[in-house]
């Protein structure tokens, strides 16, 4: 499985495939340790 194939959630719980996130322009993707 590639990173772009991973399905994550938006803040309303909707599925988002990561490849869609950077499909149109380069994306800086910051992965935080946790919330808080």
Partner 1 sequence: MRPHAEEFQQGGGKLVVVGNGWPAMAKSWARHVGFPQAVEVLTDPSRKAYDLAGFKRSRLLTLLNPRSVARWVRALLRGFRQGRTAGDAWQQGGALVVLPSGEVSYRYVSLGPGDHPGPAALLEALGKARRISALR
Backbone angles phi, psi at 29, to 5 degrees: -115, 110
Q: Does 17 bind partner 1 (CB under 8 A)?
A: no
Q: Does 18 bind partner 1 (CB under 8 A)?
A: yes
Whether 31 contacts 21, CB under 8 Å: no
- What tokens were used for 6? 């991973």
Q: Compute the residue count for the chain.
A: 36
Compute the least distance from the CB of residue 30 to partner 1, in Å.
Answer: 5
Compute the least distance from the CB of residue 12 to partner 1, in Å.
Answer: 6
Residues that bind partner 1 (CB under 8 A): 1-4, 6, 8-13, 16, 18-19, 21-36
């Amino acid at each position: 499985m590639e990173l772009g194939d991973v399905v994550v959630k938006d803040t309303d719980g909707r599925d988002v495939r990561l490849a869609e996130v950077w499909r149109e322009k380069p994306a800086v993707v910051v992965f935080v340790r946790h919330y808080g």
